[in-house]
Structure 1
Amino acid sequence: MAGAVLVTGAGGGLGRGVAERMSADGRGLALLDIDEGRLSDTAAAVASRGVTVTTHVVDICDVDALRAVVAEAFVAHDDLDGLVNVAGLGGFWQYDALDVDTWDKTYAVNVRGVFFAIQAFAAELATRGREGAVVNFSSIAARNGHELLTAYGSSKAAVLAMTNSLARALAPTVRVNAVLPGLIWTDMWRQSAGWLAEHDPALAGVAPEQIFGAMVDQLIPMKRPQTVEDVAGAVAYLLSADAANITGQSLHVDGGAVLP
């Protein structure tokens, strides 16, 4: 049976979906998030599956704390061999309204936190002489530029470059891949659609759900939003033995929004 998986951002919608899929597959879980309440909710949702679940409250921008938590996770789960970097920060900002703090915070969570989680994870695996796999969360915003997603999109593009570099650096013992979700009705998109309703005069009074639906119709050839389960299934594949010869790849789960 495959080993336990460490999931960052486990309190959010995508993180919880990944945790639920991993537990359904019989994999133990080390769940990380900055929000203790949401983290507890995810742990409660998967605890009934009979797998070992531990929770670790941490701000992944705090590198020393992150390293300590990763080490704790390896002590708690002696079969830990998977890492899924879900934690991320996003939102719509007009480029001329972006301030230094927002820019730095976006990169601290979306890029720096991802890198140092992988660094700590790989070091712990090496100490134990074990192999493992990493799945990073990027976004279609890394491929398709958007005038309101300068900080978010560019940070997610950095995740793709990091994925490629670390796939080479950590081979052959650790595989590193990425998933690029499309449009999913999670908290990020609820907030972003609400932002559009508030800031775009043409959308004044339009419900966020309607704005989101119109974006799906416009951007997604499959004409349906993606789901948390869609993405979690892709993650499960990339962590599995079926993907044993796959590394440095970017798997789009976006209904055809981005095509070669």
Structure 2
Amino acid sequence: MEVRLDGRAVVITGAASGIGAAIAAEAARAGGRLCLTDIDDAGLSGVAAELSALGAEIATVVADLSDAAAPARVAADARARFGRIDGLVNAAGLTTRAGLADAMPETWDHLFAVNGRAPFFLMQEAVRDMRARGAAGSIVNILSVNAHVGLPDLAVYSGSKGALSTLTKNAANAHMADLIRVNGINLGWVATEAEHHMQSVVLGKGPDWLAEAAATRPAGRLVEAGEAGRLAVWLLSDASRPMTGMALDLEYWVAGSPP
């Protein structure tokens, strides 16, 4: 079956760069009508311009998902532009380093607000719209392989993604009879712009971090953003029916295997 989203209105968060932008590009090529949101106004405008030039119908909403009011505003803007919400991808996320020994309450609150609360209430908005129209729909949450255990300095991040993983399954179970499918991607290590800055600058590993990291992977490279984009669009599309409540690992190792 060809993977298509023709005419479907899809909200994608974190769409200004990285994973979100890659998903938006794949969704646009699949015929989706996209409401893209991010805190980065300039980056969001650039992605929207590129996809509009390809003939895609694009709306944008600049929003800070740490604001509890943001999900309702994003959903309202999507409905105002497209009349409905057929799909949702929660791709926005923070990867702030914080371990059990050094995490501060404000870090916990910020990570859980963006990585947990915002996706939850965006799912709520999407499900309400779908149920009000008696329409089927699909939601994809970008999770993390760190939800299995997580690196020591990613304790809070891992917890937030673990919470979203449980919420993914809970929503899938609650709305199966509504024909609303909810799935997640346990995403591994991806060489995005944000990860380059984190590794080379914040963590001080320098410009050669990627080659060194790739050498530690069984396949000799990290996951690419486009690979995540293609999987997300497949999960959004009818090609993945009736799959729901799944959290699919996307990484170049098998969870539980020896390091």
| Common topology (TM > 0.5) | yes
2:176 to 171, 174, 177: 171
1:215 corresponds in structure 2 to: 213
Task: Tell me, yes or no, if the aligned pair for 2:85 and 2:129 is still in contact at 8 Å.
Answer: no
- Distance in 1 between residues matched to 2:183 and 2:169, nearest whole Å: 8
Is structure 2 residue 65 aligned with structure 1 residue 66? no
> Where in structure 2 are the equivalents of 1:131-146 lying within 5 Å?
131-146=136-151
Name the counterpart of 2:52: 47
Q: Deviations over 1:231-259 (max 9, x none)?
A: 00100111111111100001111122525
* More deviation, 138-147/237-246: 138-147
**1:208-231 CA deviation, whole Å, 9 max, x = no partner?**
4x334333332x322211111100
Aligned length: 250
Displacement over 3 Å in runs of 4+: none
2-structure distance, mates of 1:5, 1:217: 37
User: Match of 1:237?
Assistant: 234
CA RMSD between the two structures: 1.8
On the 8 A contact 2:85/2:126 being kept in 1, the answer is no
Q: Does 1:183 align with 2:189?
A: yes
Contact 1:17–1:229, Cα closer than 8 Å, also in 2: yes
Matched ranges for 1:53-202 at <5 A: 53-78=58-83, 80-172=85-177, 173-193=179-199, 194-197=201-204
Cα deviation digits, residues 149-197 of structure 1 (max 9, x gap): 0111111111111111110011132100001221111133223313332
Equivalent position amino acid for 2:42 in 1: G
Q: Percent identity?
A: 30
- Gaps of at least 5 residues in structure 2 are 1-5
What's the secondary structure of 1:63's corresponding residue? coil
C-alpha separation in 1, matches of 2:52 and 2:171: 32
Amino acid at match of 2:206: A
Contact residue 175 and residue 181 of structure 2 kept, 8 A: yes
Per-residue deviation, residues 31-66 of structure 1 (Å, max 9, x unmatched) = 111221111111011111212110111222323332
Q: Name the counterpart of 1:200.
A: none
SS in 2 for 1:185: coil
Q: Is the 8 A contact 2:98 2:107 kept in 1?
A: no
After the TM superposition, which of the residue ranges 11-20 and 106-115 deviates more from structure 2? 11-20
Aligned to 1:21: 26
Alpha-carbon distance in structure 2 between the residues aligned to 1:2 and 1:158: 32
Structure with the higher helix share, 1 or 2: 1
Q: Deviations over 1:82-127 (max 9, x none)?
A: 1000010113234333211111100000000110000011111112
> How far is 1:11 from its partner?
1.1
Alpha-carbon separation, structure 2, partners of 1:50 and 1:181: 29
Compare 107-116 and 126-135 and name the one that shifted more.
Answer: 126-135
Query: Equivalent residue for 1:4?
Result: 9
CA distance in 2, matches of 1:253, 1:2: 28
> Which of 235, 248, 252 is matched with 2:249 structurally?
252
1:36 aligns with 2:41: yes
Q: Which moved more, 1:114-123 or 1:138-147?
A: 138-147
Cα distance in 2, alignment partners of residues 143 and 188 from structure 1: 22
Match of residue 226 from structure 1: 223
